[in-house]
Structure 1
Amino acid sequence: MNTTRDLLKIGLVANLFEWYEFGIYGYLAGIVGQIFFSPGDSISSLIQGFAVFAIGYLARLLGSIFFGFAGDWAGRGRALKISLIMMAAPTVLIGFLPTYNTVGVLAPVLLLVLRLVQGFAMGGELPLNGCYVFEASPAHHRSVLCSMVMVSIALGMLLASLVANLLFWYFDRETIVQWAWRLPFLLSIPLTFFIIAMRRAIHDFPVPSTKLEGRSIATSCAVLKKPMLTAVSIMSFATVFGFVLTIWLPSYLNHFLNYPPRLAQLTNTLTLIALVVFKLASGYMAHRLGYQRLVKIGLIMTILFIFPLWFRLQTLSFSHALMTQLLMALLAGSVSGILMEILASQFPSSGRSLGMNLAYTLPTVLLGSTSPLILTLMINKTGLLLFPAFYILFFGLLALPGALSLSAKSPEFPAGRL
């Protein structure tokens, strides 16, 4: 049986590794593009780096389907342990890869192969974690414990941002390109041992007797279709907003608004610290107000204020940029902090693992991983610096009907297994 301490450990730590790697690649995308592809200007290198970022995530969909069925058939805990181990090796190996100057076109090929393997394993990790914590938690702690799963994303990103900050503060760009870029990836070695030790806290429990055993993927998806539409629409908004704010914004400030890399990364680090607080607060508020009410408030406020906030970024002031990012983190955190509870609550226990995996992974693959590339290309082509605000607004409006339709009753709330 899991104790509350175990669930806190699983919720906070299990995803930290994934999002550290995810964040460090995003923050170093320009460097990665420069050293793994043929020489070009800084924008071309950034686009190439984000292209591999996006392509690597296409494997997440296959991994999500695999681990979704595995979670419903074999047990949430067993599937979660497998996904944690599978994604560890590629991150470490990226730090040892030869560059384009050494092996030519083989360099981007090797990078892409590792990203595909890693993407497959990552397809099940976070939604499986959320499903596990949701079902193992007692009702009176569920909202807060589920928020811990999302807090772990911010913590992983924060660790990545801190490491990137140190990299840019202590090394010049030439040194980073020559060898220092490897250091953040090699830091994954001790993180891997930490994750392996944490796996001991994951105890499996029986899969519901009405599991999706014997059903085809098409039949299972048909059963989950109605709740899937609501879950995917809300997840799409949270994914786009989160990726833009925490992954892509430092590149935007640096390459399009000409902020020094150190200042762009510093505002991002401070924003991630605030995001941890806002996500925790959203879990507490969801327990008090209900996640249904909180997601509606967060969506409506984002729709109303995203343009004024993005316009404020254009003032080219460090203090304005920081304050604007903190306000956006408040809006994003009010929804993303309760995502696992929202997703888990939409699906019956018999198909919850598959439902959560698909609802989480589809927007992540199709929208999240491609957003940095799309936004960079569109601004480079059109010169419209406010385009990201249009992008976020569109997905906010798309999610609003689903959020407004959420009811207080959700299918098959478990009583908790503590």
Structure 2
Amino acid sequence: MTATVGASASAVQEHKSHLRTLVGTGIGNAVEWYDWAIYATFAPFIASALFSKSDPTSAILSTLAIFAVGFVARPFGGFVFGWIGDRIGRKTSMTFAVALGAFGSLLIGIAPTFESVGVFASIMLLLARLIQGLAHGGELPSSQTYLSEMAPKEKRGFWATLIYTSGTVGILFGTLLGAVLSGVLSKADMAAWGWRIPFLIGGALGVYALVMRARMKETEAFEAETVKEKHEPMWPQIFRHRKQALQVIGLTVGLTVIYYVWGVVAPSYASTTLKMDRGAALWASVVGNIVFIAALPFWGRLSDRIGRKPVLIASAAGSALMHFPMTWLLKDSPWQLAVGMSVMLFFIAGAAAIVPAVYAELFPTKIRTVGVGVPYSICVAAFGGTAPYLQTWLASIGQGGLFNVYAIVLLAVGIAFVFTIPETKGKDLTH
């Protein structure tokens, strides 16, 4: 009986520890994705408030360019926070990252308008995005590494789905908030002050995530390392694992572009370029993201049964095959946007569900955070960060089809790289 009670108490403690891990990781990751989603969603209002109104097209392109510039800081964030994660601890890296991200969101929420301070408003926006880029460049690899090391190895694919699940919840919350504000506030109020509300909320959520992460414990894999292993020179290790770094880039290029197209900027693209009603476009996006969240655990569990590589291939191939049909379907109706996003996000979910685990499984413990963070951030900056701008610009000159070809080529690159990686299902990350 004593043994049974002890085992029961141990199980309760383990359950609480797992819950703390999932909530602490998820809330911080959700805030990061929320920040990036609301920027894309409210880009037209940001352009109107923080840039000159004399040329609306130039203003929106400048706003999207700063969206891309924010990605430039991500590789630096990947290295800085990756170094912290591999030297000081995963928990410390995650905590610092979410604090810095919240500060950047707050800066955008209180930024003065172009009419009141001129170009300084645009500069403040740029500074805030660089701060967020630095923080978010460290957030994702730190949280991916932490979650992968805390997960039971036979369920790591399923646990890894938390990254995109929580991230999509953040996007969904931002999208719903945008739809509600667009319905409740007049266009004049939205342009004047309504667009600031989501950024101020983002700052407050970041503070809450900071408190949650401060209560988390460090991973056993990191604590099992010796002091000597934690202080090995970083750059030689990065060079030694250059093949794995290249594999991270190759696996990410297609996913990051196709995801930003269909999962993040599709509602804004539909309303600005296709002239769809903004509120209706946002509600259509909600439908697509709910489908995405529902698909993630399916793919995650499947990868734990049949392996990572078949799921990655199915995801990229399905996304490539359906991209043109769903693009042709999308015209000016919200139902078309809802169907297009749902179909594409179902297939995108395959790779999105498990890449956090795949990345972590490619590297040893002593280089895992920075090994994932630097190449991943470079890839997302170079390809994901430029995707909205490139899509909008090509559409503005009547060459939107070129962007679709570009996206499919990158997905094909991803499939090719799948064949270069080992099958890592069930790998022990403590070695």
TM-score with structure 1 setting the length: 0.93
Match of 2:154 among 116, 130, 140: 140
| Superposition pairs of residues 255-404 of structure 1, within 5 angstroms | 255-314=272-331, 316-381=332-397, 383-404=398-419
- Cα distance, 1:339 vs structure 2: 1.3
**Secondary structure class of the residue paired with 1:87:** helix
- Matched with 1:177 is 191
Question: Once the two structures are superposed, what CA deviation does each residue of 1:190-211 show, in whole Å capped at 9, x if it has no partner?
Answer: 3133212311342124163373
Q: Give the secondary-structure state (helix, strand or coil) at the position aligned to 1:187.
A: helix
User: Does the 8 A contact of 1:33 with 1:45 survive in 2?
Assistant: yes
In the alignment, is residue 6 of structure 1 matched against residue 4 of structure 2? no
Deviation at 1:50, TM superposition (A): 0.6
Structure 2 residue identity aligned to 1:329: L
| Equivalent residue in structure 1 for 2:66, among 34, 43, 52 | 52
| Structure with greater proportional helix content | 2
Inter-CA distance 239–211: structure 2 relative to 1 (3 Å threshold): farther
Give per-residue Cα distances to partners, 1:173-223, cap 9 Å, x unaligned: 222111111111111243133212311342124163373634253x23211
Of 233, 236, 240, which aligns to 1:215?
233
Q: What letter corresponds to residue 390 of structure 1 in structure 2?
A: V
Number of aligned residue pairs: give it: 413
Q: Which secondary structure state, in structure 2, belongs to the residue aligned with residue 193 of structure 1? A: helix
The residue type paired with residue 338 of structure 2 is: L
Q: Does 1:231 align with 2:248?
A: yes
Distance across 1 between alignment mates of 2:421 and 2:292: 25
Q: Whole-Å Cα distance in 1 between the matches of residues 301 and 215 of structure 2?
A: 24
Give the deviation of 1:296 after TM superposition.
0.9
Distance of 2:410 and 2:313 partners within structure 1 = 14
User: Residues 35-82 of structure 1: CA distance to partner in whole angstroms, max 9, x if unpaired?
Assistant: 111114443322111111111221111111111111111111122112
Report which stretch shifted further, 89-98 or 324-333: 89-98
Instruction: In structure 2, list runs of 5 or more residues that go unmatched.
Output: 1-13
Alpha-carbon distance, 1:246 to partner = 2.0
Distance 2:339 2:27 in 1: 29
| SS of match in other structure, 1:251 | helix
Paired with 1:89 and 1:354, the residues of 2 have a C-alpha distance of: 23
Contact 1:311 1:386 in 2 (8 A): no
Q: How does 1:60-99 map to 2 (within 5 A)?
A: 60-99=74-113
Q: By how many angstroms is 1:408 displaced?
A: 2.0
Report whether the alignment pairs 1:164 with 2:188: no
Cα deviation, residue 140, structure 1: 2.5
Q: Distance in 2 between matches of 1:39 and 1:376?
A: 19
Name the CA shift for 1:411/1:4 in 2 (closer, same or farther; >3 Å). Answer: closer
Distance 1:189 1:59, change over 3 A: closer
Q: Is the partner of 1:35 in helix, strand or coil?
A: helix
Looking at structure 2, the residues matched to 11 and 187 of structure 1 have their Cα atoms a distance apart, in angstroms, of 19
**Distance of 2:233 and 2:430 partners within structure 1:** 26
Query: CA 1:320–1:111 in 2, change beyond 3 Å: closer, same or farther?
Result: closer
- Whether the 8 Å CA contact 1:37–1:100 is kept in 2: the answer is yes
Residue 352 to residue 412, structure 1, CA distance change in 2 (3 Å): farther
TM-score by length of 2: 0.91
> In the TM superposition, what whole-angstrom CA distance separates every residue of 1:219-257 from its partner, at most 9, and x where no partner exists?
232112111122111111111111111222112211222
Distance 1:92 1:409 in 2: 40
Q: Does 1:198 align with 2:198?
A: no
Q: Deviations over 1:4-33 (max 9, x none)?
A: 212221332121111111111111111111
Inter-partner Cα distance in structure 2 for 1:282 and 1:34: 41
SS at match of 1:300: helix
* d(CA) in 2 for partners of 1:96, 1:410: 46
SS in 1 for 2:264: helix
Identity %: 24
Shift of 1:329: 0.7
Between stretches 255-264 and 123-132, larger displacement belongs to 255-264
- Whether 1:241 aligns to 2:255 is no
**In structure 1, what is the Cα distance between the partners aligned to 2:186 and 2:114?**
20
Q: Does structure 1 residue 253 correspond to structure 2 residue 267?
A: no
Gaps of 5+ in 1: none
Rounded Cα–Cα distance in structure 2 between residues aligned with 1:105 and 1:18 = 27
Q: Tell me the CA shift for residue 133 of structure 1.
A: 0.9
| TM superposition shift of 1:285 | 1.5
Match of 1:24, SS? helix
Cα distance in 2 for partners of 1:172, 1:394 equals 42
Deviates more, 1:191-200 or 1:100-109: 191-200
- Name whichever of 25-34 and 79-88 sits farther off: 79-88
Of the structure 1 ranges 19-28 and 248-257, higher mean CA displacement relative to structure 2 is found in: 248-257
Instruction: Tell me, yes or no, if the aligned pair for 2:365 and 2:430 is still in contact at 8 Å.
Output: no
- Whether the 8 Å contact between 1:349 and 1:412 is mirrored in structure 2 is no
Shift of 1:411: 11
Counterpart-to-counterpart distance in 2, 1:400 and 1:192: 36
Question: What amino acid maps onto 1:59 in structure 2?
Answer: A
SS in 2 for 1:408: coil
